[in-house]
Amino acid sequence: MDKQSLWYLENIDMKGMLDPKKMAENHSDSSNHRTFKKSEYIYMPDEHADKVFFINEGRIKIGTYSETGKEITKSILTHGEVFGELSLIGETKRKDFAIAMEETSVYIMSVDEMKSMMKKHSTLSLFMMNIIGSRVLEMEQRLESLVFKDSRTRIVEFLENLAKKKGQRIGYEMLVRKFLTHQEIANLTATSRQTVTTVLNELRTKNILTFNRQRLLIRDMELLRTEAKLD
């Protein structure tokens, strides 16, 4: 591996440390940087799991297929996020698929490269383990929501979590850029597009949030949390 690819290990800011754009720019081997067209698969279920991916630009959908062939969306990832990380803890074959939702560039590292770096740099190892742990926790929370909470509550809580994870604070408001479509939210909350539209319009009427295809602006996070508790 080119020594320049280790640039980010000197940065104590873990988010900056794994900035895929800089990783791609500082690596001399162009084979580690790939661009996928919209609807192109990065990997499919049962494929050999030997790589970890960092999103430079674009969006990736992670999902799986049920026994009946129904597509199940697990997550939608954007710039700066990591996927394929289960290969680091023993996954030899992919259980999920990863597909580009738009033209997307990614930086690719082999599992061997990543493990070698993790052994040498404890901060990187901790960062990757935190990613794996947080994703497991997210899936457990989603399963719990499916069992115990109604559709409206799942949608409201999804919006709250989306703002916490990807939002930018502007004064007292939270801004989420590149807002998801209603169908994408429905897929992630196991609801219908119509239900998502109804809930979003209701919250907009209450002046809790505003939205369009490009962004979501939550005017009052506390009021949004209160909405999640309403039956």
Asked whether residue 12 falls in the same domain as residue 110, the answer is yes
CATH (domain of 217): 1.10.10.10
Q: For residues 79 and 20, what is the distance between their CA atoms, to the nearest angstrom?
A: 8
83-99: per-residue pLDDT in tens? 999 999 888 999 999 99
CATH (domain of 112): 2.60.120.10
Asked whether residue 50 falls in the same domain as residue 77, the answer is yes
Asked whether residue 117 falls in the same domain as residue 185, the answer is no
Domain stop point among 146, 170, 200: 146
Q: Say if CB 203 and CB 158 are below 8 A apart.
A: no
Asked whether the predicted pLDDT for residue 180 surpasses 70, the reply is yes
Which residues span the domain enclosing 218? Answer: 150-228
Asked whether residue 74 falls in the same domain as residue 89, the answer is yes
Asked whether residue 111 falls in the same domain as residue 129, the answer is yes
- Mean pLDDT for 16-43 is 70
Asked whether residue 86 falls in the same domain as residue 167, the answer is no
Asked whether residue 127 falls in the same domain as residue 165, the answer is no
103-121: per-residue pLDDT in tens? 999 989 899 988 887 887 7
Asked whether residue 138 falls in the same domain as residue 222, the answer is no
**Counted domains in the chain:** 2
Helix, strand, coil shares, percent, the chain, to 5 = 45, 25, 30
Domain stop point among 146, 161, 195: 146
Poorest-confidence range of 71-75, 129-133, 150-154, 191-195? Answer: 129-133
Domain stop point among 122, 146, 170: 146
Coil, helix or strand at residue 66: coil
Coil, helix or strand at residue 125: helix
Asked whether residue 20 falls in the same domain as residue 95, the answer is yes
Asked whether residue 201 falls in the same domain as residue 125, the answer is no
- Identify the helix (H) or strand (E) that includes residue 62: strand 60-65
Asked whether residue 99 falls in the same domain as residue 180, the answer is no
pTM confidence score: 0.76
Asked whether residue 21 falls in the same domain as residue 61, the answer is yes
